[in-house]
Amino acid sequence: MALCLQDKVVLITGASSGIGKACAKTFAALGAKLILTARRLDRLTALAEELSAAHGVAVLPMALDVQDKDAVANAINSLAPEWAEIDVLINNAGLALDTTKLHEGNIDNWDTMLNTNVHGLLYMSRAVLPGMVARNRGHVINVGSVAGHDTYPNGNVYCATKHAVSALSKAMRLDLFDKAVRVSEVAPGAVHTEFSEVRWQDKARADAYYEGFEPLMAEDVADAIAYCATRPAHVDVSELVLFPTAQTSCHYLAKHT
């Protein structure tokens, strides 16, 4: 029987856009209490108001840069009692910056990707997991990527960060093997979000990337994440990879012009 998420506390990182925002909508519709985090508080506040009005759920918007380890620890440690027992952590915040050959890469961009996609996920997990372990229940869902299972030209550091997400998901499952805490990695292919606009800082280039095929939508990925979260407690979806039907791998995307 599917697990009921009514009144469960679900924390989503990167909830101001794309997959994280779609997760907020999906989990609100399932009756969960939501802690929504990202850097852009104005977006989170507007989303929180919308979801509370639509679904009657409690929503806590919180400005948080996952790269800041002290801010992450403080945010989790200072949660009010009604929010402190996090049932589901969705480590979704992440980004790619540029696509360039490694030997021509921008080192500041590398730092931002590593600090966000890898360190950010670690800081959040380190802050939230002890409570889950103490309660012997909980679920960490890490948003990886097909770029964490393969590499593509000029994707070097982004691919490395997502390989790290995949490795850390496996490592968490091993370290939690004797606890009733589940760990899932959800790894999508091309999803139409603000991801490519952030990557290239060029809206026209980003729009062109999504033309000529039907990409995944953020809601498709949120649906996969909700699938993981709603399996019965004895079922742990360890890895879920989803592609647009037009995409077979990082290297094969069928575009019709």
Residues that bind ligand 8X3 (CB under 6 A): 145-147, 155, 190, 250
Residue 194: name its binding partner from ligand NDP, ligand 8X3, none (Cβ under 5 to 8 Å by kind): ligand NDP
**CB closer to ligand NDP, 108 vs 136:** 108
**CB closer to ligand NDP, 71 vs 133:** 71
Shortest Å distance, C-beta 160 to ligand 8X3? 11
**CB closer to ligand 8X3, 27 vs 158:** 158
Residue 20: name its binding partner from ligand 8X3, ligand NDP, none (Cβ under 5 to 8 Å by kind): ligand NDP
Rounded-to-integer distance, Cα 59 and Cα 46, Å: 11
Looking at the DSSP bridge assignments, the partners of residue 161 are: none
**CB closer to ligand 8X3, 131 vs 144:** 144
Shortest Å distance, C-beta 197 to ligand 8X3? 12
Is 158 labeled as catalytic in the residue annotation? yes
Instruction: Kindly report the three-state secondary structure assignment for every residue of the chain.
Output: CCCCCCCCEEEEECCCCHHHHHHHHHHHHCCCEEEEEECCHHHHHHHHHHHHHHHCCCEEEEECCCCCHHHHHHHHHCCCHHHHCCCEEEECCCCCCCCCCHHHCCHHHHHHHHHHHHHHHHHHHHHHHHHHHHHCCEEEEEECCHHHCCCCCCCHHHHHHHHHHHHHHHHHHHHCCCCCEEEEEEEECCEECCHHHHHHCCHHHHHHHCCCCCCEEHHHHHHHHHHHHCCCCCCCCCEEEECCCCEEECCEECCCC
Residue 219: name its binding partner from ligand 8X3, ligand NDP, none (Cβ under 5 to 8 Å by kind): none
- Contact present, 116 and 206 (Cβ < 8 Å): no
| CA dihedral for 63, 140, 181, 221, sign (positive or negative) | positive
Shortest Å distance, C-beta 158 to ligand NDP? 8
Shortest Å distance, C-beta 81 to ligand NDP? 25
Residue 131: name its binding partner from ligand 8X3, ligand NDP, none (Cβ under 5 to 8 Å by kind): none
Catalytic residue among 8, 21, 25, 162: 162
Residue 250: name its binding partner from ligand 8X3, ligand NDP, none (Cβ under 5 to 8 Å by kind): ligand 8X3
**CB closer to ligand 8X3, 109 vs 230:** 109
Q: Which residues bind ligand NDP (CB under 6 A)?
A: 13-20, 38-40, 65-67, 92-95, 116, 120, 143, 145, 188, 190-191, 193-195, 198, 218
Rounded-to-integer distance, Cα 77 and Cα 86, Å: 11
Shortest Å distance, C-beta 123 to ligand 8X3? 21
